[in-house]
Structure 1
Amino acid sequence: MNNFPTGPYASIKIPDFRLFISSRFCITLAIQIQSVVVAWQVYAITKDPLSLGLIGLAEAIPSISVSLYAGHVADIMQRKKIIVTCISTLLLCSSLLLFFTLDIGAGIITRSVVPIYTVIFISGIARGFLTPALFSFMPQLVPRELYTNAISWNSTLWETATIAGLALGGLIYGFYGITSAYTIDVSLTLIGLVLAISVGNKPLPEITAEEGVVEKIKAGLRFVFHNKIILSAISLDLFAVLFGGAVALLPIFAEEILHTGPIGLGILRAAPSIGAVCTAFYITHNPITKHAGKILLSCVGGFGVCMILFALSTNFWLSLFLLIASGAFDCISVIIRSTLLQTLTPENMKGRVSAVNHIFIGSSNEIGMFESGVTARSFGTVRSVILGGFATLLVVSVMATFSKSLRTLQRVQ
């Protein structure tokens, strides 16, 4: 007889998992507040769309560079220690951004945004190590039978934090100023650190037999590239995120097309997560039990359509609705892909597989921001988003045609 909790709230009845997702909630809230404030601050200083893309590049380069090694580390070291160290580094970065807004540090960014990019670069290193550690630590906190439930709740709270963080970032910055926004950022990161420290230590699974760092990393790569379902799923999201997103350009849409200020930007940034959190909560109570592959393909295609229509919209409320819909589509693909990775990957290889996934998906968000900035400068803001949406639809068509294993996938667990 199973001795673990059951029902839609099963995983959050486990104390260590509650602490884990509470810590991630606070860290995500802080990161999203910071992202809104940094984007608005940089664009206010430079008035250059490319400068927004460079924010993503400044984080993606170090994150990609350390990711494979970080995955290896997550498979041979206590994952909780890695998480605590990374959050401590993020706390330092948030404190530096706050310092730049005080009288004693304001002169550092008077003529250049390079110090801001430098801090983002350091945070990119920390997040490169944090991602595989979080991914591989979470399944140690719940039974295998609760993976889908835990992933759904993890996504729900992550998206909720994104909604609150992006909205709060705009509201706090708009009403109380940049120093107050960064102060909240620092405080939330500190709370997240305390909660992470409170999670119980978990033993590492048996380390795989490969000799040396390089061979262990190669083993993780071979696993991903030889598993057609995992490779197809993460490749699909890679190109959708790389070409289809418009998040990096939202400050331009908010100011020049939809004619709203920092508060409107915060609402627009939060809109995808409004759709995502509602969808994640629904899936928690109504798990996907069949046609998972077709649902995944349809949702990525729906995301691309939303981006095209968003680019054409000049009405704030229509744009808001389309961003909400895009978040709902994206959430479904995230839950399907994450569940596949957790259930198909051996425990002692989850750090390395997560690192590959992070390179494919996580860092493609930041590279996508850079791509958006480059194409916006070359073709214009609206055209760049339209082109990205059509590129997403093309990728879905190609994947649906050539990846039978994904197209015919029924269950994710």
Structure 2
Amino acid sequence: MATITLDHVDKLYPNGYHAITDANLDIRDGEFVILVGPSGCGKSTLLNMIAGLEDITGGELRFGDQVVNDLSARDRDIAMVFQSYALYPHMTVRENIEFPLKLSRMPKSEIQDKVAEVSASLGLDEYLDRKPAQLSGGQRQRVAMGRAIVRRPKVFLMDEPLSNLDAKLRVQMRAEIARLQQDLGVTTVYVTHDQTEAMTLGDRVVVMRKGVIQQAGSPDELYASPTNLFVASFIGSPSMNFMPGRLRGDVVSTGFGDIHLPESLVDAASRATSESVILGLRPEAFEDAYLVAPERRDQGMTISANLSLVESTGADRFVYFSPPEVEKPTDAARDAAREAGVDELGGELVARLTNATRVAGGDTMDLWFTPESLYLFDGETGESLRTDEVRAQ
């Protein structure tokens, strides 16, 4: 197996485009790491640099103690699984899986044993004599994975392998990939643009934007302690709500009125560079005030919401509303939000409630939340103030 170290890695194209900037990341032996971010953020470029398919223009890439910057892809002992499957159409499933073993001149008896083992683990036994054209998308993806697994490389690299599958099959294949990676214990780097996929699959998730690693941490760390506005808005579905606010001591003025900050946030507020802050509140932090036990109500804040839209998913109700008033954001706060991809501060908000709530668009209801669930971001920089976050490492 292998550890992977990115030490100030850069990718600069001849036309001056900086695709990857100062990437630093330590991937542990056997770890399942997800690279996630919007289209064009550099995640596939970074994966291709690890694979040896893209040149590194700065810094060092190491497998264990070996610098592999100039090592060809074939000499890195990696296996890749692509979105397009990349199967040989004229070969059967068996021939596709055994192909890399034949290239390595492995004895025929060993090849048969390894193909049988991989085929059984992926549920491909009944398809071994079929050709790719006779398979479904999910079956083709399993064949592509089998061809990668059969070699038992040091590193698996997967570039959006589930993008071509329908929603139900994606969930099924996610579970299969997670199980296989856990069973095999092979260091794996997986690229996706789907944050739900990233959060459910990885030991650790690396969030990227514009070629820069924004934060690396476990799914729980990214959700609970986002390092900046971008990570906070990208992780979580629906996305975090954001509102402008103004600090005055241990009180922050918002569209909901004045909120007295709990002790856990007073220290965070003291790190703000100005009175201007941006408040974040996850949709699931809200509760239907009618359903909150009386003994809990005094521990939080109740607001009146005029609902513009209600969506039901069966298990949840998503209610959309606007704050009664909007604290006018500073130009710097507005710019910090736009830079993070947050188009509007203090616009429509969303609460995620249980299906016990019976409301419809146009209704007015009371919503409840605790100040402890607030996130605070600097109104000048967009950096989180709430905790000492887990930084990209």
Band the TM-score falls in, shorter-chain normalisation: under 0.3
TM-score, normalising length: structure 2: 0.22
In proportion to residue count, which structure has more helix?
1
In proportion to residue count, which structure has more strand?
2
Pair member with larger Rg: 2
